[in-house]
Each structure stands twice: as C-alpha cells, then as structure tokens.
A = this chain, B = another copy of it.
Amino acid sequence: MSPFLEQIELQLHEALEKDELESLRPILNDEYPADLADAIERLELDDQYEVFRLLEPEVAAEVLNELGADSTRSLLERMHPTEVGDLLDEMPMDDAVEILTEDVPEYQEKYLAEMDPEDAAEVKRLMQYPPESAGLLMTERYVHISADITAAQALNHVRQVDEEVETVTDLYVLDASRHLIGVLSLREIITAAPEALIGDIMETDLVSVLPDTDQEKVARLVSRYNFLAMPVVDEANVMLGIITVDDIIDVLTEENTEDILRFGGVEGGGVDQPYFTIPLLKVIRSRFGWLLLLMVADTLTGTVMRLFNGQLSTVVALSFYIPLLIGTGGNTGSQTVSTIIRGLAVQDIRFRDLFHVLRRELLGGLLLGLALSVVAGLRAYTWDQDPQLALVVGLSIVIICTWANLMGSLIPMIAHRLGIDAAVVSAPMISTLVDATGLFIYLSIATFILGL
C-alpha cells in the first residue's frame, strides 16, 4: 500500500530492540502521518506511546487523527490532560470533534477544559450538529476576504494566513455581516491584474450547503461541481465554515462500506472501524437483529408448505425443486435491488419514474425467466421424466423471476419515497420475501397443472 511503511516499521523494530528510539526522532517527524499511524498501530500499546512521544506537536496531531479508536484512547490515557488539550488545539477542529465524540467520549469534558478557550468553543459549536451532517465535517478556518480589496492585496492576505488554516485554494468573499457573496480560487488571484478588484472578478453563482445537510449529499455536490471545498452557510447565508475535499473522499469511502454492509444485511454503527478492532459481540448484536427478523419472516414458508401438505405428500418430487426455485427467485431479486438502489443513490432514478421502472423490470424479469425456464424445465424432465412436472417447474421459474424483479424494484422505490435510504433493502431481505411468495406461486401452479 504505502511505499514507506515497511521501512518505517523496520527502523522502529530495530530501534526498539536496541533501545535507541530517540535517534529516530528526526526521521520520524519527516514521514507522512498516515504511514506513521499505520506503523504505530502495529506496535504493542506501550511501544506505541514511546514512539508517539517523539513526535512534534503538529505531526503528533496529524498522526492522532489517522489512528484507530483503540490506539487513540490508549495514547491519550497515558498522557497528561494538559498535553492532550495542547494536541487537540493543534488539529483541525472537525478532527478534534471526531476524536472527542467517537474515540474518548467519556473524557470529553476533561479534555475540553484543557483546550484553548477559543478552540474549545469551536468544538462545542460543531458538536451540536446531527450525526452524518455537513456541520461535523466543517472547519471554521478558511480564507475570507472582502470584495473591495485588490487581487494584490488578497494575495498578500493569503501569505499571512495562519498555518492552521487547512487550505487556501479557494478564497471566500464575505460582506460586513459575514454573508457569503462570492468565491474565487487562489489561481484566479494570482493570474488577475494586481489592481483588479475582488468584487469584479469573483464568482457569484454560489453553491453552498446548510450545516445539517446530509454528508452524502455534500459529497454528490462536490463531485458534481468538481470543487476542492464546499462552503457551509446558515439559513441567512452567513458563512459558517468549509468542508475540504479530503473529508469528502472519506465520506465516499465510508458510504461504500456502509452500503455493502447494509446490502449484505449488517446494520450500520461503527462501520468506519477496522475489521479486527470491532468487538465480536458488537458485530453479533448488529447482525442478530436482521437475521432474527428474516428468520421469523421465513417461518411463513412453513405455513405455505403446510397449506399444500396434501399435494406435497401426493407428489414428493414436488419438494425436490423448492430450493432451486426460491433460490433463483432470490438471486434475481438481489440483482434487481442492487441496480435500483444505486440508481436511486446517484439520482438516475426518481420516485416519479416508478411506472417506467416497474415496466422495465417486469419485461426484464419475464425475459430472464423465459430463458432460465428452458434450462430448468429440461433438467426437470430429464430427472423425473414427467412432462407435466417439467411444465410446472418451467412456468414457475418465469413467474417467480418476474415477481422477484417487481418486488426488487418496488420495495426500494417505496422505501426511498418514505424517506428511508433505499440501501436498507438488503439482498437477504429480498431473498426472504421471495421465499414464501415464490413457494406459494410454485405450489399453486403445481396444484392447478397437476390437478392435485
């Protein structure tokens, strides 16, 4: 993954063995924080602290931000609260919020008391925003200028911007009451005539978000407009802060994890934690709910079977095709759901397209079912030499595939309409729904055709 990680690990192990860690100080402080964090996480907890102690405050702050919850907690617990406060002061405040709310929530008050009052106030403001909201990704440190200065003055202003300001790539133009009235890039400032007025060269068609906007929506907007940062404003268009593109990339990566887990039927919570660091009981808790619900729903299959008890006793061979038929239905439904939830997520599909979608999936299911029924029917005929049973199996496949396709499109569309993220409709959910209904379809067709 990283071109440097292995070397750092090697150096650390050697230095730890020879008890010469101190000699690594200059080298370590020159490494990328992400690499340092990975190397540190692979050490024993006591060694982690010994290495972390060697880092300059600004490097330590960045490394802390890259570490997992367990290492962060263990390191902070070994430090004096005053040191922790200083370290938190060093980092962008959205990152400090993440650590204080997710990694060490129980020490929040203690550490906040040790922070610089201004930083602590910013952290407290940010902590009030809802989970998954734009506000939590925001930093209040950005470059702002007024419209009546010149490009040359703006450039000079950028030169004096505090190092703690993460990015100076975009400059935000505010009026006297801090309303956002324009934006321009550092490049535009540099290439403009030095005496040009900011008000004359700034972009005024502004895209901004409210602090309670969902993070995924912010990510879509940044992706749509190819921004490097997104301004956050309140209802009155007063500038609150910016969200930088590196946070957007993290949102997209987490969203991907969340969507795959949900689609597999694992419900959220701690999804950004590495596989091995989530306590097993927590994993089981987050999986058990869905499994139990689906299993209870699946007991309906037993009810359907009992309903057709007579037919199944008369023609035992009927039961031999049950797993095949409901399995194929579940697979077809899973495919459809995956297509629809992505279409909804990237907004290729809207609820008003419902009729259009259903028509398309109806036709698609019918065609897939017809193609599969040829194979299934032939297999049934070669097995049981009974043309009528083969017909039952073939016809059931057609209807079950069509039905699965309809359910697989209708249910996520309805969830979306109800304001529920369509991604909660998982592959297991659709398989389970198709189990009982598919069984009913199959046994009804059998009863009719075989005259049972």
The yes or no answer to A432 lying at the interface (CB within 8 A) is: yes
Closest to A258 in B: B342
Mask of A322-334 contacts with B, CB within 8 angstroms, 1/0: 1110111011101
* Interface residues in A193-237 (C-beta closer than 8 Å to B): 205, 207, 219-226, 228
Closest to A325 in B: B298
Chain-B contact segment, one of A27-35, A46-54, A69-77, A174-182: A27-35
Closest to A166 in B: B226
Chain-B contact segment, one of A78-86, A117-125, A248-256: A248-256
Contact B265–A334 (Cβ < 8 Å)? yes
* Interface residues in A354-368 (C-beta closer than 8 Å to B): 356-357, 360, 363-364, 367-368
Smallest CB separation, A34 vs chain B (Å) = 5
In the bound assembly, the distance between CA atoms of A298 and B220 in angstroms comes to: 40
Contact A264–B295 (Cβ < 8 Å)? no
| Cβ 8 A contact of A331, one of B252, B294, B327, B356 | B294
Contact B367–A291 (Cβ < 8 Å)? no
* Interface residues in A147-180 (C-beta closer than 8 Å to B): 155, 158-159, 168-169
Q: Which residues of B contact A306 (CB under 8 A)?
A: 320
Contact A346–B257 (Cβ < 8 Å)? yes
Q: Which residues of B contact A328 (CB under 8 A)?
A: 291, 294-295, 298
The yes or no answer to A284 lying at the interface (CB within 8 A) is: yes
Contact A225–B322 (Cβ < 8 Å)? no
* Interface residues in A297-343 (C-beta closer than 8 Å to B): 298-299, 301-302, 305-306, 309, 312-313, 316, 319-324, 326-328, 330-332, 334-343
In the bound assembly, the distance between CA atoms of A348 and B219 in angstroms comes to: 24
In the bound assembly, the distance between CA atoms of A445 and B246 in angstroms comes to: 54
Q: Which residues of B contact A372 (CB under 8 A)?
A: 288, 291-292, 295
Smallest CB separation, A292 vs chain B (Å) = 6
Contact B364–A331 (Cβ < 8 Å)? no
The yes or no answer to A59 lying at the interface (CB within 8 A) is: no
The yes or no answer to A274 lying at the interface (CB within 8 A) is: yes
Contact B338–A261 (Cβ < 8 Å)? yes
Closest to A376 in B: B295
Contact A220–B159 (Cβ < 8 Å)? no
Smallest CB separation, A232 vs chain B (Å) = 14
Interface centre among A31, A186, A219 (most CB of B within 10 A): A186
| Cβ 8 A contact of A223, one of B250, B257, B343 | B250
Smallest CB separation, A294 vs chain B (Å) = 5
The yes or no answer to A452 lying at the interface (CB within 8 A) is: no
* Interface residues in A130-147 (C-beta closer than 8 Å to B): none
Q: Which residues of B contact A345 (CB under 8 A)?
A: 256-257
Q: Which residues of B contact A219 (CB under 8 A)?
A: 249
Contact B334–A264 (Cβ < 8 Å)? yes
Contact A360–B280 (Cβ < 8 Å)? yes
Contact B263–A260 (Cβ < 8 Å)? yes
Contact A305-B284, Cβ < 8 Å, known A246-B226, A338-B263, A427-B428: no
Q: Which residues of B contact A427 (CB under 8 A)?
A: 263-264, 334, 427-428, 431
Q: List residues of A whose CB falls within 8 A of some B CB.
A: 1-4, 30-32, 34, 155, 158-159, 168-169, 186-187, 190-191, 205, 207, 219-226, 228, 245-246, 248-250, 252-253, 255-257, 259-261, 263-266, 274-276, 280, 283-284, 287-288, 290-292, 294-296, 298-299, 301-302, 305-306, 309, 312-313, 316, 319-324, 326-328, 330-332, 334-343, 345-349, 353, 356-357, 360, 363-364, 367-368, 371-372, 375-376, 379, 383, 426-428, 431-432, 435-436, 439
Q: A266-B338, A275-B339 are in contact. List 16 more A-B contacts (CB 8 A).
A: A158-B191, A190-B190, A222-B249, A223-B250, A264-B334, A275-B340, A276-B360, A288-B371, A295-B324, A295-B328, A295-B331, A305-B319, A309-B316, A312-B316, A313-B316, A334-B427
20 contacts between A and B (CB under 8 A): A31-B205, A158-B190, A158-B191, A169-B187, A223-B253, A245-B249, A252-B252, A256-B259, A257-B342, A265-B331, A266-B339, A275-B357, A280-B360, A291-B332, A295-B324, A302-B320, A327-B432, A334-B427, A334-B428, A431-B431
Q: Sorted from nearest, which 9 A-B pairs have the closest CB atoms?
A: A264-B338, A427-B427, A301-B323, A275-B343, A331-B428, A274-B348, A226-B246, A275-B348, A252-B252
